Structure 1
Amino acid sequence: MEQTIKDKIPTYFVDQQAISKTSLVELIQKDFPNLKESSITVYLSKLKKEGVLKNPSRGKYTLSGKDRFIPVIDTKLKRLYNKIKKDYPFIEFCVWNTLWLNEFMRHQPFKFYTIIELEKDVAQSIFYKLKDQGKTVFIEPDAETFELYIHNSDDVIILKQLVSEAPLAEIENIVIPSLEKLLVDMLIDTNLFGAQQSELEFIYRSAFEKFEISKSKMKRYAHRRNREMEVEHLSNLTLANN
């Protein structure tokens, strides 16, 4: 019975995003007249725990939203993160790879960079540690450095300063930038995100279509980076065209 109700639930939301609990109970009772209201309430609670339904406000139900952005974190990136975490247990930092952006793009870049965003005070120390290990590392590279060295190198690690209060996420005990952060940074860090500049609107549209994105989180971070108007304009443009 529970699976039958679970299969029926999406049909109640075809013409509306949110349904009051009272209306939802009535719709279920119409299809399953032998069910008591108390039993339906138990089923709804189970479906909420399973992630089939959301309860965004008191007395309201919606279908669960889009997926959370969970990129594949490969072994090499995990090892790098854990080594830094071990050596510098009290700093705030995150790691990621530009490969993650490919799923949002039409044209797929063939060069990818490992990015470590970290506190400015430890950048030099970590730079020299990685260099001693034979890594190809750059700190805050400018356009000329990208053109002369980075574009022609493999396995590049780029260190850049982590903006305070940047929105981060934790996946498998590895701290990474949230998708909201990446989308905002993409508008600003045009050297690092050079391959994405010609596809910004397409990337935003793809991201908003595929994943759950908090516009308020983007707005707060964009405000910290003094790019609130540009981010809001591109987000609104993207949503208008969806």
Structure 2
Amino acid sequence: MNASDRTPADLLRSALAADPARPLVTFYDDATGERVELSVATFANWVAKTANLLQGDLAAEPGDRLALLLPAHWQSAVWLLACSSVGVVAEVQGDPAGADLVVSGPDTLDRARACRGERIALALRPLGGRFPQAPEGFADYAVEVPGQGDRFAPYAPVDPAAPALTVGTVSMTAEQLVARSREDAAELGLGPGSRLLTGRTYDTWEGLSAGLFAPLAAGGSVVLCRHLDRLDADELAKRVESERITGTAV
């Protein structure tokens, strides 16, 4: 990655310029058997479409607060980078009542209804599938995002010194997030081409870092596993081998 990168969106742009075809996020759901692998280019395309939805249809502006009520999932990672691209503050598991807009999975819809702004719901079905019927009061992400543009340009430049992320008691600006991601990557022994397997949840900084930001900052990739505790030791060892894992954070 480039030393001049100051936001997570900068890190993604550098990854795209360096090697768009390499894997960036490989996602497993061990409750359903789902496996999805996204190259840097495919992930960046999802981010661009989601950022266009966020900035255009949802009229989000830099500094707006988005309550992100999603589990560890590849689509959650997309939303985190889309927020960074627009300059929206991602409040992971934040209070919807105090947020400008909310993004919810299927298990947190009742909680998400406390938001008075725009509400987006994700079914989190395999292959990004939609709800059979959109939940009342929500737009279905899988319906809204496909028609968005494949290229994104923010209406206003994102300020690296502006707030970018809140998770638990941790709040960071974009440039602080990048710096801490680089520190975490070094502690995890990550470098270009590294492949980190993690089963950590997305409700702590440690989970977000291992599950997205540290591998991205290092020029590596992540194998993000939801419900990893359903695997026994032999199954986990087979995954480590088949996915060419170089490090773990479970």
More helix by share: 1
Look at both structures and tell me which one has the larger radius of gyration over its CA atoms: 1
Same-fold call, TM cutoff 0.5: no
Q: TM-score, normalised by structure 1?
A: 0.25
More strand by share: 2
Identify the structure with bigger relative contact order (alpha carbons < 8 Å, sequence gap 6+). 2
